[in-house]
Amino acid sequence: MSINTHNTHIVNGFAYHAPTSVAEATKLLDEHGVEASILAGGTDLVPKMKQAILKPKHVVNLKHIPELAGVREEAEQIRIGALTRLRDLERSIIVTEKLPLIHEAITAIGSVQIRNMATVGGNLCNASPAADSAQALVALGAKANIAGPKCERSIELESFFTGPGRTVLGRGELLASLTLPYPEEGSRGAFIKLGRTSLDLATVSIAVNAKMKKETVESIRVVMGAVAPTPLRLRNVEQSLAKKKLTVDAIEEAGKLVSESIKPITDIRGTAEYRRVASKGLAMEALTRILDGSRRDK
């Protein structure tokens, strides 16, 4: 085998599977269990295989299952297939018109090349606490639809993540799609990401989605990235803002509460202290954008 000092090759061999139906895929995943890795866009799996961090004996490519890709409008909800490439998601007219928050979050991910390859399901299943698509999807109330060898199940996306790199997916299961309710009248969102460079993972990020009545918050979701082991929904902040008029003081107060409520760590991208200060600023900026937007609406 080739010398692989610079990770130019995948040294380990594997059996390759290209199922064409979800039933076939879940059967294969069930059969091979922990020895199988799912291949979607490959932007996470392939580098890990090159660095021999992962050495799967079986690779199950999901890209030949047509029903897993694409964005569709259904009667009560919008469905996003897990294998939808990020670039297709950001260019979808349904997304730009009905879910602009998703468009904003997705275009903040990586580079054009990465978005041409990576899929939304892959971004979620890697379960990085900093994955940019997760916060926006949770803020919009997305459900994760999971297919398994025996049955299907739907859970709230916020309960999908169980820790860094870990999800609720069990043996044989795969993330098939996400479903989102149509945004309500007066609903508006903001996504902000702080990173060392625009290509990097987030040091801190926030997605807010609020239903506004003039300058008053009817209901709101506040979700932060890279400040806890999983994308973090701040219910206490949401409750404190509900039915409140967004004044300068209320925004300052909410920013303080956000900063106190996160559970940041120090890592190569930033210190815990930095994340606490930055998260206050991000929250205030996001709420100010929402307020400005609802003022323009009048």
Partner 1 sequence: MKITIRVNGKPRGFDVEPNTLLLNLVRDGMLLTGAKYGCGVGECGACTVLLDGESVLACMVLAFDADGRNVETIEGLGEYDSLHPIQEAYLEEGAVQCGFCTPGFVMSTKALLSEKSQPTETEIREYLKGNMCRCTGYVNIVRAVQSAAAKMKGPG
53 is a contact residue toward partner 1 (CB under 8 A)? no
CA angle 70, 71, 76 (to 5 degrees): 140
| Cβ distance to partner 1 smaller for residue 50 or 98 | 50
CA 89 – CA 71 distance, rounded (Å): 7
The residues facing 210 across adjacent strands are 188, 220
| Cβ distance to partner 1 smaller for residue 55 or 244 | 55
CA dihedral 152, 157, 162, 165 (to 10 degrees): 90
Q: Which stretch binds partner 1 (CB under 8 A): 10-18, 153-161, 243-251, 256-264?
A: 10-18
CA 146 – CA 59 distance, rounded (Å): 19
| Cβ distance to partner 1 smaller for residue 10 or 95 | 10
Report 79-108 residues binding partner 1 (CB under 8 A): 87
8 is a contact residue toward partner 1 (CB under 8 A)? yes
66 is a contact residue toward partner 1 (CB under 8 A)? no
The residues facing 71 across adjacent strands are 80
Please, what's the b/e burial string for 174-200 (b: 16 or more CB within 10 A of its CB; e: otherwise)? Answer: bbbbbbbeebeeebbbbbbbbbeeeee
Q: Which stretch binds partner 1 (CB under 8 A): 26-34, 59-67, 127-135, 162-170?
A: 59-67
52 is a contact residue toward partner 1 (CB under 8 A)? no
CA 173 – CA 160 distance, rounded (Å): 12
Q: What is the DSSP letter of 246?
A: -
| Cβ distance to partner 1 smaller for residue 61 or 216 | 61
Among 33, 35, 67, 113, contact with partner 1 (rule: CB under 8 A): 113
59 is a contact residue toward partner 1 (CB under 8 A)? yes
* Binding residues for partner 1, total number by CB under 8 A: 33
Among 42, 149, 164, 281, contact with partner 1 (rule: CB under 8 A): 42
Q: Of 110, 181, 149, whose CA–CA distance to 26 is shortest?
A: 149
Interface positions with partner 1 (CB under 8 A): 6-16, 18, 39, 42-43, 46-47, 49-51, 59, 61, 63, 87, 110-114, 116-117, 198-199
